[in-house]
Structure 1
Amino acid sequence: MKLYTVNAGYFKLDGGAMFGVVPKSIWNKLNPADENNMCSWALRCLLIEDGNKLILVDNGMGDKQDAKFFGHYYLHGDDTLERSLAKHGFSKDDVTDVFLTHLHFDHCGGSIVREGDKLVPAFKNAVYWSNPIHWQWATQPNEREKASFLKENILPIEASGQLQFFNVSGESSVVSSNLEAAGSSTHHSPLTTHDSRLTSHVSFLTVNGHTGAMMLPKITYKDKTIVYMADLLPSTAHIPLPYVMGYDMFPLTTLNEKKVFFDEAMANNYILFFEHDPVNECCNLQMTEKGIRHKDVFKLSEV
Structure 2
Amino acid sequence: MNPAGSLIIRAAFAEGGVHIDAVILERPAMTRLFVGQNPDAAVRLIPHLYALCAEAQRVTARAALAAAEGRSMVCDATDNRLLWLEVLHENLWRLLLDWPVACGLPAARDAFIAWRSDRLGVDGTLATRRLIDETLCPLVDRCRRILDDRGVAPTWPQADPAAWLAWWQGGVATRPRTPPPHDIAATYLARVADVARAAAALDAGQPFPLLAAGGDGLGVAQSVTARGVLTHAIAVEQGRVKRYHLEAPTDACFAGREALAALLAGRRFDAAAAARIGLETAILALDPCLPYEVEWKDA
TM-score range, shorter chain: under 0.3
TM-score (norm. length: structure 2): 0.26
TM-score (norm. length: structure 1): 0.26
Q: Find the structure with the greater CA-based Rg.
A: 2
Structure with the bigger percentage of helix: 2
Structure with the bigger percentage of strand: 1
